[in-house]
């Protein structure tokens, strides 16, 4: 998850501006920008930007949902360790039981911390993607409004 988050930060910081400049150059080099064909080209350019800015966002969101579950898997293994200690040594060995409790809580905490930290970035990337697609739409100006819902 963190690899994808770092990649998205890199993309928005260094790559996206070049992509916007390239589509702006392509759109500006057109002779006309109000025909049906031109509007379809505009829609295709905006779609390409939308795909680029939304890349990995869904995967980050899915990982956010899975990480706490993986933490719970660690909880289950820790509880099995506690039950094993109780079966072998009884309830008198508190030190071994504490090790099992530790083994049960640390993975759960790690899963929750990873999911919560990923949550902030997922929300940020979703908002940023929406704003960048809107900016791309405004960047590709249309000479007249004929043909697109007018």
Domain boundaries, the chain: 12-139
Other CB atoms within 10 Å distance of the CB of residue 107: 18
Residue 150 confidence (pLDDT): 43
Among residues 98, 104, 109, which one has the least CA distance to residue 74?
Answer: 104
Other CB atoms within 10 Å distance of the CB of residue 44: 11
Among residues 133, 136, 144, which one has the least CA distance to residue 38?
Answer: 144
Tens of pLDDT along 76-134? 888 888 888 888 877 777 787 788 788 888 888 888 898 898 899 999 999 999 999 99
Both structure tokens of 71: 């933490």
The CA distance from 37 to 30, in Å, is: 11
């Amino acid at each position: 998850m963190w690899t994808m988050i770092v990649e998205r930060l890199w993309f928005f910081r260094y790559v996206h501006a070049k992509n916007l400049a390239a589509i702006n150059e392509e759109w500006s080099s057109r002779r006309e920008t109000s025909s049906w064909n031109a509007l379809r080209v505009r829609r295709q350019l905006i779609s390409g930007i939308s795909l680029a800015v939304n890349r990995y966002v869904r995967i980050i969101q899915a990982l956010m949902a899975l990480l706490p579950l993986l933490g719970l898997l660690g909880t289950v293994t820790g509880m099995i360790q506690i039950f094993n200690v109780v079966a072998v040594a009884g309830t008198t060995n508190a030190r071994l039981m504490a090790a099992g409790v530790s083994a049960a809580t640390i993975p759960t905490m790690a899963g929750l911390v990873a999911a919560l930290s990923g949550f902030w970035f997922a929300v940020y990337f979703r908002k940023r993607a929406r704003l960048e697609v809107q900016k791309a739409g405004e960047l590709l100006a249309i000479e007249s409004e004929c043909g697109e819902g007018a």
